[in-house]
Amino acid sequence: MHRLALTLSSTLLLTLSACSAQQAPQAAVIQQPQPSHADLGKLRVHYSLLPTLAMNDAVARSYQVQRDANRALLVVALRQLEQGEELPADGKVQAVVTDLSGKRQQIDLRAVRTGPYTDLIGVLDAHPRDQLRVDLQVSADAGAGNVRFERNF
């Protein structure tokens, strides 16, 4: 019995000493989601999903969006590609967001004018530590198709 206790305590000490040789844990670095895009023929689809709290008050007011810890803003911009230039493009976009538990949200997108461009925005539920998959169904004269992306909060 004494020999078993000695063996167990020696094993435990070796295990603990091996753990101390690892690097010290480092604080997580929060990175803001970067806007992204996908090309569907001559149509470029820019998309972004960010927490509403990441917007400053002026942007939130211009988009008429209330900032909230459990809400996110989806922005979709359609542009027609012509000789390396991005020109305004009109089209329709349907957006569905799904979290890891399978909860689906159909997002109502509304048009927001920004200079010569019209962007589509929608607000959805998004909680800290959510992983969200966004499916966009896009239809425009310049191109059509599906765009899928994920964001972690």
Range of the domain at 106: 36-152
Structure tokens at 117: 């461009």
Within 10 angstroms of residue 146's Cβ, the number of other Cβ atoms is 12
Q: 86-132, pLDDT tens digit by residue?
A: 999 999 999 999 999 999 999 999 999 988 899 999 999 999 899 99
- Do the domain assignments include residue 19? no
The CATH number linked to 84 is 2.60.40.3340
Q: In the chain, how long is the greatest CA-to-CA distance?
A: 83
Reported pTM: 0.76
- Do the domain assignments include residue 75? yes
- Do the domain assignments include residue 143? yes
Q: 22-38, pLDDT tens digit by residue?
A: 666 666 556 565 559 99
Q: Could you give the CA distance from residue 111 to residue 56 in angstroms, rounded to a whole number?
A: 20
